[in-house]
Amino acid sequence: MKAVCLSVRSIKKNYENAPLLRDMSFDLHQNETLCLLGPSGSGKSTLLRIIAGLEQADAGQILWQDQDITSLPVEKRNFGLMFQDYALFPHMNVAENIAFGPRMQGWKKQDIAARVDQTLHIVHMEGFATRQVGDLSGGEKQRVALARTIAAKPALLMLDEPLGALDKALRDQLGQELREILKELQLPTIYVTHDQEEAFTVGDSVAVLNFGYILQKGNPEEIYSKPASAWLSGFLGFTNHVEGKITSTDPLKVSTHLGDFELGSHDDRKPKPGEAVTLVLRPESVQPENGAGSSNSITGVIKDSQFRGDGYRLSLLLEDGEIFHFRDLQRRTIGQHIKLKIDPAAILWYGGDERTNYDHQKG
Ligand code: ADP
């Protein structure tokens, strides 16, 4: 593991007596791109502004290379910050926009010119130097804004919803491009987004925040395969949740109003008989249950079977009126009753604090 360059320690921030950041801590490593992922209003921008020095925390510390910078003014931090609206200067051309930071820092003329060329090359915008900012497309503006942010060689790069103003197709394309550019830059980067797909595309690691806490930090695979709580699994799009009780621990069995489920391994967690748990049935490929299998199956009426390129998205109306979604290999007839097998390996389970929102558990 590379050395830690930034440490965020127990940051707290209240607005109008309501806690927004209750206790936020994480480390950022050299050259790591960390995506701060959370729903709108969860405090991502506030945390970023505190790290940048644009806002003061009520408590906690920010360390940069082991130095306490909690009270250091923004201009002394040498961090590059880019917002969603880009804030490019409309009366300047592309090169002048990019040159702005180095000029303010008193760089020599020829160094500025060389740096403008270099950053235009990094963001794949060679040949755009004399273009007027107003004539650029949304994606081009976004790349010029990135070039301007990195021009003065910041030690840390911070991007706040940098693709937020763009349409979905462009976001997908630029997300991939940004990932490659950030890799080449070799700069520690904090990237704020509310979009899971974008976070998983761009980030070496992802920190999910909500309710005032960093709920989980890990690489995208870890978070996707083992979301740390029922809330987090729902936030990642795994919305097939069933409440139940543990009836046996070896093998692990759970009884629910939709039937009984036998689960795969329970790693090092210690389930207790009678414990209330939330099951999350991952929307992975399902097969109809043809036999009389009594456990690990659910029945319902097909509400929708939607083509999705690599298969179908099946919407199943359960007897209790809920709708569950699964991936499916074939188109099904709407209105048909069906019984589906659920693979034990596709079931996540959460007990204790992991079941409910942290909001009521801590703080
Ligand atoms: P996110 O970036 O996750 O959408 P923000 O950090 O922008 O979240 O803000 C979260 C909430 O904090 C806002 O919805 C608002 O209620 C509150 N907030 C942020 N800044 C201020 C402020 N300067 N004064 C009062 N409340 C604020």
Rg of the Cα trace of the chain?
A: 24
> For residues 128 and 140, is the Cβ–Cβ distance under 8 A?
yes
Tally Cβ neighbours within 10 Å of residue 280.
Answer: 22
Structure confidence at residue 56 (pLDDT): 96
- Given a cut of 70, whether residue 87 has pLDDT beyond it is yes
- Rounded Cα–Cα distance for residues 279 and 267 (Å): 16
State whether the beta carbon of 43 lies less than 6 angstroms from ligand 1.
yes
Give which of 124, 114, 169, 176 is closest to 146, Cα–Cα: 124
- Given a cut of 70, whether residue 345 has pLDDT beyond it is yes
| 211 CA from centroid of ligand 1 (Å) | 13
State whether the beta carbon of 212 lies less than 6 angstroms from ligand 1.
no
CA triple 201-204-206, angle to 5 deg: 80
| 42 CA from centroid of ligand 1 (Å) | 8
Atom of ligand 1 nearest to the CA of 42: 3
H helix or E strand, kind and range, residue 138: helix 138-151
- Given a cut of 60, whether residue 360 has pLDDT beyond it is no
Structure confidence at residue 363 (pLDDT): 40
Structure confidence at residue 193 (pLDDT): 95
Q: What is the pLDDT of residues 13-36, one digit of tens each?
A: 999 999 999 999 999 999 999 999
Confidence of residue 361 (pLDDT cuts 50, 70, 90): very low
H helix or E strand, kind and range, residue 209: strand 205-210
| 213 CA from centroid of ligand 1 (Å) | 15
- Rounded Cα–Cα distance for residues 60 and 11 (Å): 4
Atom of ligand 1 nearest to the CA of 47: 6
- Given a cut of 90, whether residue 270 has pLDDT beyond it is no
Q: What is the pLDDT of residues 42-77, one digit of tens each?
A: 999 999 999 999 999 999 999 999 999 999 999 899
- Given a cut of 50, whether residue 362 has pLDDT beyond it is no
Q: What is the pLDDT of residues 157-207, one digit of tens each?
A: 999 998 887 888 888 888 888 888 998 889 999 999 999 999 999 999 999
Q: What percent of the chain has pLDDT over 70?
A: 97
More confident residue, 361 or 254: 254
Q: What is the pLDDT of residues 111-170, one digit of tens each?
A: 999 999 999 999 999 999 999 999 998 889 989 999 999 999 999 999 999 888 788 888
Structure confidence at residue 338 (pLDDT): 94
Q: What is the pLDDT of residues 274-306, one digit of tens each?
A: 999 999 999 887 888 887 767 899 999 999 999
Structure confidence at residue 296 (pLDDT): 92
| 229 CA from centroid of ligand 1 (Å) | 24
Structure confidence at residue 353 (pLDDT): 84
| 44 CA from centroid of ligand 1 (Å) | 8
Give which of 130, 142, 147 is closest to 92, Cα–Cα: 130
Structure confidence at residue 358 (pLDDT): 60
Atom of ligand 1 nearest to the CA of 160: 2
Arithmetic mean of pLDDT over the chain: 92
- Residue located nearest, by CA, to atom 16 of ligand 1: 41
Confidence of residue 223 (pLDDT cuts 50, 70, 90): very high
| 46 CA from centroid of ligand 1 (Å) | 6
- Residue located nearest, by CA, to atom 25 of ligand 1: 15
Structure confidence at residue 289 (pLDDT): 85
Residue 211 zone, left/alpha/beta (φ > 0; ψ -120 to 50; rest): left
| 71 CA from centroid of ligand 1 (Å) | 21
- Given a cut of 90, whether residue 312 has pLDDT beyond it is yes
More confident residue, 83 or 79: 79
| CA 240 to each of CA 44, 113, 237, 338: distance values in angstroms, whole numbers, following the listed order | 27, 56, 9, 17
For the entire predicted model, the pTM comes to 0.89
Out of 35, 42, 46, mutate this one to test ligand 1's pocket (max ligand atoms within 8 Å of CB): namely: 46
SS3 103: helix
Structure confidence at residue 213 (pLDDT): 95
Residue 157 zone, left/alpha/beta (φ > 0; ψ -120 to 50; rest): beta
